[in-house]
Amino acid sequence: MQKTMLSLSVAAALVLPGLAAAQTAANVPTLDKVLEASGISLSGYVDAAYSHANRDIEGGFSTRVLDSQNNSFVLHQVGVQIAKQPKQGFGGLVNLTAGRDASLIHSFDTTSESQFDVTQGYLQYASGPLTLIGGKFTTLHGTEVIWSPSNANFSRSILFGSVPFTHTGVRATYALSDSLSLIAGLNNGWDQVKDANRGKTLELGLTATPIKPLSLAASYYGGREPSALSGVEGRRDSFNVVASYAISDPLSVGAEFLRVSQEDAVLDGGSPAKGTYDGLAGYLSYLFAPKIKGTLRAETFDDKDGLRFGLADTKYRELTLTVAYLAADNFELRGEMRTDRASEARFSDGGSTSKTLTTFAVQALYKF
């Protein structure tokens, strides 16, 4: 009996510290819980894809922005965002992008070959309905964004590449109500950490939800900008409207309009002249099953003065079909087919040119 009691005591001495350690480890909060308790949010994603084109869009002309690969596997983006944005008081946000796309969305005065980009980084102050931010932030223009998981298609639209990606300056947002906000700001211009001239660009915006299924956003940018085509500086004005409507739980539609003009931006008979381009895009998304979603995008773009692509008197149209398999809350697999058509033969095909370009792509998105 005494021997048995001794054995039990030894066993308890060995087991109990292990149980206590396990209980202590279970009580230690994880990183996400620590951040949540501190009011800090951390999120990110990995965007990798394979794409194939039937024309030479790497060495020739392309309407694409981030998916100009002839036949390649690509790590497009690794995005990370950390933010603390209280409803009252000071906060801030930092958004970092690594991967091939980082060299394409960079500001003009930063290293273009770098596969790392500080996409956003700003301080914030909130007081009641007013929110102020200062630093570098993404544009008000456009349906599609740099943050890959927020887009329904793999490839970005022509309109996405025809507006600024980011601005550096200050922005104020005033919420008149839960369904209406006004935005005003001043910045260095299009994709400039350091201003390319003495002038500043004014930004104005409005977001509204007049009824629950309908969302509207309108934005304007105006200021003097240098032109690579004419070599001189002129006033640039851009106006953008985005609308989305949820017809039912599985079905939604959207539309976007863009118009950009700049004085003395193109050459007409050797003299600087005004250049203009405009475009219209439409979106239709349908959730066929809890894990299967289809998105159709149709787009038309008129670059009549060559302000966007440097080739005047050309209209472009594109049609994109993307089918997404929502395997889990944090993983998505997409397959896409896209066709671009130009009114003139612009797309390189060996020693000749063609009016059409077709691409196929498979994209994998992991979100954390």
Q: Give residue-wise pLDDT tens across range 77-113.
A: 999 999 999 999 999 999 999 999 999 999 987 767 7
Residue 1 has pLDDT above 70, yes or no: no
Q: Taking the CB of residue 138, how many other CB atoms lie within 10 A of it?
A: 17
- Determine the 3-state secondary structure of 324 from DSSP: strand
With bands split at pLDDT 50, 70 and 90, how would you rate the model's confidence at 31? low
For residue 236, give Cα distances in angstroms to 162, 195, 239, 306: 13, 15, 10, 15
pLDDT value, residue 99: 97
pLDDT value, residue 35: 75
Is the overall model pTM greater than 0.75, yes or no? yes
pLDDT more than 90, % of the chain: 84
pLDDT value, residue 269: 87
Q: Are 363 and 334 in contact (CB under 8 A)?
A: yes
- Residues facing 114 on adjacent strands: none
Residue 5 has pLDDT above 50, yes or no: no
CA-CA distance, 144 to 155, in Å (whole number)?
10
Residue 265 has pLDDT above 60, yes or no: yes
pLDDT value, residue 138: 98
Residue 247 has pLDDT above 50, yes or no: yes
Weakest mean pLDDT among 12-26, 209-223, 276-290? 12-26
* Average pLDDT value over all residues in the chain: 92
Topology, domain 129-367: Porin (2.40.160)
Residue 347 has pLDDT above 60, yes or no: yes
Weakest mean pLDDT among 104-113, 125-134, 355-364? 104-113
With bands split at pLDDT 50, 70 and 90, how would you rate the model's confidence at 331? very high
| Stretch 181-201: mean pLDDT | 95
DSSP 194: S
For residue 197, give Cα distances in angstroms to 33, 207, 315: 46, 30, 31
Cα-based angle 293, 294, 298 (whole degrees, multiple of 5): 150
pLDDT value, residue 32: 64
| Stretch 155-173: mean pLDDT | 98
Q: Are 39 and 84 in contact (CB under 8 A)?
A: yes
pLDDT value, residue 186: 98
pLDDT value, residue 111: 64
pLDDT value, residue 22: 47
Please name which of 118, 117, 160, 120 lies closest in space to residue 137, comparing C-alpha atoms.
120
Is the model more confident about 35 or about 171? 171
CA-CA distance, 112 to 104, in Å (whole number)?
7
DSSP 247: -
- Annotate 243-264 with b (16+ C-beta within 10 A) or e (fewer): bbeeeeeeebebebebebbbbb
Is the model more confident about 20 or about 260? 260
Q: Are 256 and 232 in contact (CB under 8 A)?
A: no
pLDDT value, residue 34: 74
Sign of the torsion angle spanned by Cα atoms 141, 147, 170, 227: negative
